[in-house]
Amino acid sequence: MKYDFTSIEKKWQKRWLEEKTYAASSASKKPKFYALIEFPYPSGQGLHVGHPRPYTAMDIIVRKRRMQGYNVLFPIGFDAFGLPTENFAIQNHMHPREVTEKNIKRFTEQLMMLGFSFDWDRVIDTTDPDYYKWTQWIFLQMFDKGLAYKASMPVNWCTSCKCVLANEEVVNGVCERCGSEVVRKEKSQWMLKITDYAQRLIDDLDEVDFIERVKIQQRNWIGRSTGAELMFRATTGDDIAVFTTRPDTLFGATYMVMAPEHALVDNWMESLAN
Q: What local confidence, expressed as pLDDT, does residue 262 receive?
A: 83
26: phi then psi, degrees, rounded to nearest 5: -70, -25
Q: How far is CA 134 from the centre of its chain?
A: 18
Higher-pLDDT residue of 75 and 250 is 75
Concatenated DSSP letters for 58-86? Answer: HHHHHHHHHHTT-EEE-EEEE----HHHH
Please, which residues have CB within 8 angstroms of residue 232's CB and are 6 or more apart in sequence? 239, 240, 242, 256
Straight-line distance from the first to the last Cα atom of the chain, in angstroms, rounded to the nearest whole number: 78
Phi, psi (rounded to 5 degrees) for 58: -70, -35
Contact present, 76 and 118 (Cβ < 8 Å):
yes
Cβ neighbours, 10 Å, residue 164: 14
Q: Which residue has the higher pLDDT, 259 or 23?
A: 23
pTM higher than 0.85: no
Specify the pLDDT at position 113: 92
**pLDDT value of residue 45:** 77
> What is the Cβ-side half-sphere exposure of residue 224, based on CA atoms within 13 angstroms?
12
Cα separation values, 209 from 24, 60, 140, 206, Å: 25, 18, 32, 8
Stretch 262-267: mean pLDDT: 84
3-state DSSP call for residue 212? helix
Look at residue 123 in the predicted model and tell me its pLDDT: 95
Quote the pLDDT of residue 137.
Answer: 98
Residue 83: is its pLDDT beyond 90? no
What's residue 274's pLDDT? 65
pLDDT score recorded for residue 195: 85
Looking at residue 186, what is its pLDDT? 86
The top-scoring range by mean pLDDT among 103-107, 162-166, 222-226 is 103-107
C-alpha 271, offset from chain centre = 41
Tell me the pLDDT of the chain averaged across its residues. 91
pLDDT score, position 162: 82
pLDDT at position 241: 92
| Residue 163 identity | C
Q: How large a percentage of the chain has pLDDT more than 70? A: 100
Residues 129-183: tens digit of each pLDDT: 999 999 999 999 999 999 999 999 889 999 988 888 888 889 999 998 788 999 9
Nearest to 177, CA basis, from 78, 76, 44, 30 = 44
Confidence at residue 261, expressed as pLDDT on a 0 to 100 scale:
76
- In the predicted model, what is the mean pLDDT of residues 250-256? 88
